[in-house]
Every structure is written in structure tokens, then in C-alpha cells.
Amino acid sequence: MIREPLLDFQKIEDRVEQIANSFKPVSAKSNNSNWTALPFTPLKPMLPDILYKVVSRRPDYWKEANLKVRTDEAFMECMAKFYKTSKIIGKGAFGTMFDSPRPDCIPNIPKDVKHVAVKVEILSDYYDYYQSPAAVASAYTITKKAASLGVAPNIYDCFISVNENGMPVIIKVYELINGTAWANMEWKSEAQKNRAIADLEKKIIKMNKNGIIHHDLHTENVMVSKSNEVFIVDFDRARLVKEEELVEMPAFNERRPWSSSPSHKLLGPDVLEFVYKTLLEEGSVVPSRPVSQTRKNKKEKRT
């Protein structure tokens, strides 16, 4: 069936989702990718991000990591209330941290807890392995371990949802530390600062001895409570020592545990090519020359 070219971005996204859901992997795997040989359209460079967005909303993408996708109407109403009643207390590379009254729709928070810290991370691009299901599950497990050692605030819950713009997000709910980031501390005395330094050194040693490597330890990721106790936060890039050789060597990305996981296969090059070829064949996108090639041709005509 030939369609009119898709001009509306929402229609493109909906169609990409339909095609991706119809993909059936073949048993014989080919290592030859035809992606670069496929004709250029304005959609081509955007398609990996679109595919990532639509696939990462699917419960089966997160199933292997035991992470739930929560998009039911009651939960979304609860989250709309959350955004109105919370205040931003920090921003990082992957998300925004909120100080929030205890949300009624998150059941795993202890009953005596009145306020929590909630981190909302917009899922970035397809290549960001720190937000893969296995990586998110690993960070959750490591944070739990660090909290049990008294090194980090506790993490109560972690799940997937969408924000008010329909973008997939990871939501992490933490124990709220009533304090200040080390970077923003105004020390009352050298003695206070020295006690905090000693506490930080002790907790780093304890964390490392128990097999946790943080990988993102800086003054924004160290909190000092009002009682001058130090907590290390944001274990999103943390790894256990036994995983170090597999994970932290960029030249060997294919050895990462999640690179062969079921969720990764939902975003593989074969799926990408299938979606793009289908859009081309049905006329939903029309091939065009890249801008650089058009300029080159005009220059050749002038000469």
C-alpha cells in the first residue's frame, strides 16, 4: 500500500511503532548491514532516536530487568500532581531531582516517610548504555548495596513511565537527605570540614572494599547532611569490581553484558533497517539528497 509522505512527526512516530511491533527476527543472522546503502531522507538520521523512544515505552523492553512500565491513567494523574507539588533540588546529565511529598501512587516507600527525593530521567538516545534495562537494574542493585553499607541514601523504587510530553522516563525514588551538596557547602569551620573529609574517606574505602566502584564521584555527588554526615549519591555509572573488565573498556563494547540481551535485540540494526525499508516501500518517506550533495552539484554547474 502506497501512502502519502508522512509530514506530521506524531504520525511518523506512530507508524514507526506499528512497523517495529510487526518485526519478526529471522533465524539466520547476517553480519552485513545495508543501512549506509539505503537512500537518504530527512527521517534517516532521526530514526534511531525515534525507534528508541517507541520501543522503550514497551513493557517487554524492560521485562528482563524486572522494571515495571507505569502509564495507567491513575498513575499519570498522580504524577501530574507530583510535578505541581515538588520542587527541583538538582539537575544532572541524565535527569532532574525533586524534593517531593510522599506520592500516593508509589507503594514501596516506608509508611513513616513523609518526603522523598525523586529523580526523573528522560531516556536519551539509542546509544546510551547507562540507560539500558540491564544497566538501570545494575545501578539499582548497587545503590541498594551502598545504602546497606551506610554509604548512600536508600532507594525505594525504580520504574518506567512517560512524562507530560509522552517521552519515556526512568523514575527513581530515594530517601531524602536533608542537607547540601559538597560543592555548595559553606563550612562553619575548618574542623567541620575536616570531620566531613574524614567521613567521606571512610565511606569511599568501605564502598571500594565491598566491591563498588562509583565512576562519577565529584562534589555534586556528595551530600553533607545537617548533622555533618556524608552520603555518596548517584550510582548510575557505578559498577561492581567483578564487572570492571567487561564494562569500562570502550574498545570492547560488544562484551557488555546487556549487548546481547533481549531488550538490545529490539533496537538492533536489523529492526532499524526493517522499519526504514518499510517506510520507503510504502511511500511514507521519500528519498532526497543530503544538503551537502545538493550544494556540491550547484557548485559543479557554476564551474
User: How do residues 5-34 score in pLDDT, each as one tens digit?
Assistant: 555 777 888 889 889 888 887 654 555 568
Domain count, the chain: 1
Beta bridge partner(s), residue 69: 160
> Does residue 33 fall inside a structural domain?
no
Q: 120: domain CATH number?
A: 3.30.200.20
> Does residue 234 fall inside a structural domain?
yes
Cell of 300: 559543479
268 φ, ψ (degrees, to nearest 5): -70, 170
pTM: 0.76
> Does residue 216 fall inside a structural domain?
yes
Residues of the chain with pLDDT under 70: 1-7, 26-33, 125-128, 243-265, 288-303
Q: Which residue has the cell 547532611?
A: 225
pLDDT at position 180: 95
pLDDT at position 31: 53
Cα separation, 296 vs 298, in Å, equals 6
192 φ, ψ (degrees, to nearest 5): -60, -45
Strands (E), 185-238: 212-213, 222-225, 230-232
Sign of CA dihedral 191, 193, 196, 200: negative
Domain span holding position 101: 63-259
> Does residue 9 fall inside a structural domain?
no
> Does residue 45 fall inside a structural domain?
no
> Does residue 255 fall inside a structural domain?
yes
> Does residue 46 fall inside a structural domain?
no
Query: Are residues 109 and 132 in contact, defined by beta-carbon separation less than 8 angstroms?
Result: no
Q: Following CA atoms 146, 148, 150, 154 in sequence, which dihedral angle do they give, to the nearest 10 degrees? A: 80
pLDDT at position 155: 97
> Does residue 252 fall inside a structural domain?
yes
SS3 70: coil
The DSSP string of 98-131 is EEEE--TT-TTS-TT--EEEEEEEE---TT-GGG
pLDDT at position 244: 56
